[in-house]
Amino acid sequence: MHRQLALVTLAALLAMPSSAARRHAAAPVVSDVLSIVFVEPAAADGTFTAAGGDAWLDVKEVAHTGGSKEHSSRIRRRFGVRIVRSTGSASGMATITSRLASTDGRTSMHLDGKPLTEASMIVDAHAAIGAVIFHTLEIEVSDAVAPGAITASIAWEVTAQ
């Protein structure tokens, strides 16, 4: 009887896949958060202030030139965007999106020639992590706008691919 029980037990063990006999160890979760760092271009005019994931653009005084046939003034500023990993690794790709987070309605903005609205738009579908990519922000101020401060905010998001 013991011999039959031993044979049945042996047969049952041999029939089980070897992976079922072992428990898989839980893999540690590594925080690999992506973030955006704004970079001031080398030939900056001092109106762009990059502070890691935040940046401020001071357009200073904008005056319309009288001889122009346009009924608005345009300000163009160039800046860089770098995606970094919290682990420090500079490999992989990511998607960068942006949207107009807030505006006072006094301007219209374009990023790399595309109008910025409240809807998210893809800025770079395949941005290399660690590389600096330069973009151009164009702000248009109508002549009909009364003088005063302009307030607007752009939200940026990055997603790993």
Chunked in runs of 10, what are the mean pLDDT values of the chain (161 residues)? 44 46 49 84 71 78 64 86 86 94 91 96 96 93 83 92 87
Residue 128's contacts (CB-CB under 8 Å, 6 or more residues apart) are 83, 92, 93
pTM for the full predicted model: 0.71
CATH number at residue 67: 2.60.40.2040
Radius of gyration of the chain, Cα coordinates, nearest whole angstrom: 28
DSSP three-state, residue 72: strand
pLDDT score, position 87:
81
> Distance between terminal CA atoms of the chain?
61
pLDDT at 158: 95
Query: How many domains is the chain built from?
Result: 1
25 lies in some domain = no
13 domain-assigned: no
